[in-house]
Amino acid sequence: TGNLDPELSARVMRMFTQFQQLGVTILVATHERAVVESLPFRRLVIEQGQLVSDGMGASR
C-alpha cells in the first residue's frame, strides 16, 4: 500500500477483511511492518530468510 493514496490504501485493507470473512487466504509481502501489525489476521514475519514471528495481528 506504500504507493497508494490513503483512501485507496484503506479500501485495499477493507478488501483483505472481506476476503478473510469468505475464508480466502491472502499472502501479503511488505516492508511496512506497521501495515502487517494493523491487520487482525495470522501473520508470519520473516527477516533475513528466517521465520521470526508466527502469530495474530491487531485484535479482531
* pLDDT tens figures, 34-46: 877 777 788 888 8
pLDDT tens track for 4-59: 888 898 898 889 889 988 999 888 888 887 877 777 788 888 899 999 989 887 65
Q: Are 18 and 39 in contact (CB under 8 A)?
A: no
Q: Which residue range forms the structural domain that includes residue 13? A: 6-56
The answer to the question of residue 18 being in a domain is yes
The total domain count for the chain is: 1
Q: What is the 3-state secondary structure (H, E, C) of the chain?
A: CCCCCHHHHHHHHHHHHHHHHCCCCCCCCCCCHHHHHHCCCEEEEEECCEEEEEEECCCC
The three three-digit cell numbers of residue 56, written as one number? 495474530
Rounded Cα distance between 40 and 60, Å, is: 5
Q: Which residues pair with 42 in a beta bridge?
A: 56
In a domain, 1, yes or no: no
52 part of a folded domain: yes
